[in-house]
Amino acid sequence: MKALNLLLERHSCARLSAPAPEGAELETIWQAGLRAPDHGGLHPWRILHVSGEGLSKLSDIFAVAAEQNRGDVEKARQMPFRAPLITVVIASPKPHDKVPEIEQVLSAGCMVHAMQMAAFAQGYNGIWRTGPMAYDPIVKQKLGLAEHEHIVGFLYLGSSQISKVPSRTLSTDQFVSWL
């Protein structure tokens, strides 16, 4: 796929099923993530891969969090099964004089986007999700995040179940001005 086509045609998909990327394809996706712009080369991120049994573990974690928050436990329990694979991207900011935390979190965000694009380029699709679970202290603790770390995204990946490609070209006039 041509690079510009990838940038212009990329779209998300919420209806995903097997097959999911694995082996060399998955490694390529992770490598694309690790090429995210990174001020100071701090590597302020890490990836938690969730598939197979991991999805059931994540489901249990979401259910516990929903229960504690008096939310919809069954809905929370089902969420991880919306794709055969979830890549949790964790921002892990490092103390630094010149690189503020926001830049390090942005770098982790770039990582999510790069991995979604790498999946798309290989014929898969995905969707970047957060929602309350991304910010829930119970979820963060059970997934092993340290106090200073943040979940910037649950990147759901798999094969698209939707044949119609959404067309969402925005007019640049609305968003671009000239100085």
Binding residues for ligand FMN (CB under 6 A) = 11-12, 127-131, 153, 168
Q: Give the nearest distance from C-beta 97 to ligand FMN in angstroms.
A: 27
CB of 179 to ligand FMN, least distance (A): 27
Q: State in angstroms the smallest separation of the CB of 21 from ligand FMN.
A: 18
59 or 96: CB nearest ligand FMN: 59
Name the nearest CA neighbour of 60 among 77, 73, 74, 48: 77
Name which of 11 and 39 has its Cβ closer to ligand FMN: 11
88's tokens: 């949790």
Strands (DSSP E) contained in 59-147 are 85-91, 125-129
CB of 107 to ligand FMN, least distance (A): 14
- Residue 150's SS3 state is strand
Residue placing its CB nearer to ligand FMN in the complex, 12 or 92: 12
Strand partners, 45: 91
Nearer to ligand FMN, 36 or 127 (CB): 127
Report how far Cα 27 is from the mean position of its chain's Cα atoms: 15
Q: Are strands 85-91 and 16-17 parallel, antiparallel or unpaired?
A: unpaired
